[in-house]
Amino acid sequence: MSVTLARIEPSIAGFGDYVALLKPRVMSLVVFTALVGLLIAPGHVHPVIALTALLCIAVGAGAAGALNMWYDADIDARMLRTAGRPIPQGRVTPGEAAGFGLTLAVFAVATLGLLVNWVAASLLAFTIAFYVVIYTMWLKRSTPQNIVIGGAAGALPPIIGWAAVTGGVAVEPIVLFLIIFFWTPPHFWALSLYRAEDYARAGIPMLPVVAGEAETRRQIVIYTLILAPLGVAPWLLGYAGPLYGIASVAGGAAMIALALRVHAERQGHSASKQMFGFSIFYLFVLFAVLLADRLWGGLAAQAVSHFAA
């Protein structure tokens, strides 16, 4: 028996194209928030196991990014922000991206399960599936609530980090989940206010496209009013120090002030652009201070026990 093989054009995808498929900027945020979840967790885990967990979470997030680019290649090509991605540019075929993403997802989940624990691995598998199936394939093209519900995927990494150490889930990482969850809508809606034409061209029902600018500005204020007190919660619940308390109160107040400016803005989008930029800084500061707080607290406790001995 002989089978005739179709001639396939050899790939021109280089290393950089595959790195781009992993969405490295999103991945860095995922790793950072997972690291915070991992470090605030009670108990001890060997640094090699902790690094392995972070590596698996990073690869899992990258896999989700590659699968997102595979499925969204058609709308990516129609948006200015995403038209330069490897698939719309023709450097990577959709099939290559799908195979790459699926392989990495399976490897990341299996490795996390076998080397760390299966609770963390199950959460990682759920996060990838939620992002790819629920957000990318379903919500993104069908409802203006896409980034509200889909934001859950981006909010889960601190819980995965916590589960990697404890093998379970508790209130502390759930509060971090809620912070990222309620941060996502004002962050993306601020962006979508000045990129509405881009989203409309791609046929994505973002809130400004479907409900108009006024409603989007109102929703940004509502979500920011929920977000600001949530940001302070780690301090109120006692697992973050006074430095975090000051940073979260000041950052939350600034976020509310910016949201009110966005709400009042009638001409242009300077307030929306400021809100988008500041929201990234706000989330980064919250998690960085929490991280510094924990590292400093750990070092201080070690020093006290050293001198007491």
Partner 1 sequence: MMVSDAMDETPKTEGGIRLTEQQLRARRSRSVAIALALGAFVVVIFLVTLVKLGSNVLTRPM
Residues in contact with partner 1 by the rule CB under 8 A: 2-5, 7, 10-16, 18, 46, 48-49, 52, 55, 111, 115
Radius of gyration of the chain (CA): 21
Q: Looking at beta carbons only, is 48 or 308 nearer to partner 1?
A: 48
Number of neighbouring beta carbons within 10 Å of residue 229: 13
Distance, CA of 162 to chain centre: 16
Smallest distance, partner 1 to C-beta of residue 260, A: 48
Q: Looking at beta carbons only, is 52 or 274 nearer to partner 1?
A: 52
Smallest distance, partner 1 to C-beta of residue 45, A: 10
Placement of tokens 């962006």 in the chain: 191
Q: Looking at beta carbons only, is 22 or 73 nearer to partner 1?
A: 22
Q: What angle do CA 151, 157, 161 make, to 5 degrees?
A: 165
Smallest distance, partner 1 to C-beta of residue 67, A: 18
Smallest distance, partner 1 to C-beta of residue 4, A: 7
**CA count, 13 A, side-chain hemisphere, 179:** 31
Q: Sort residue 143 into left (φ over 0), alpha (ψ -120 to 50) or beta.
A: beta
Burial class (CB in 10 A: 0-12, 13-18, 19+), 263: middle
Count, residues in the chain: 309
Tell me how far apart the alpha carbons of residues 23 and 215 are, in angstroms, rounded to a whole number. 30
Tell me how far apart the alpha carbons of residues 156 and 153 are, in angstroms, rounded to a whole number. 6
Tell me how far apart the alpha carbons of residues 300 and 308 are, in angstroms, rounded to a whole number. 12
Smallest distance, partner 1 to C-beta of residue 29, A: 22
Smallest distance, partner 1 to C-beta of residue 255, A: 39
Q: Which two tokens stand for residue 223?
A: 């979500």
Q: Looking at beta carbons only, is 160 or 271 nearer to partner 1?
A: 160
Q: Looking at beta carbons only, is 35 or 230 nearer to partner 1?
A: 35
Q: Looking at beta carbons only, is 50 or 191 nearer to partner 1?
A: 50
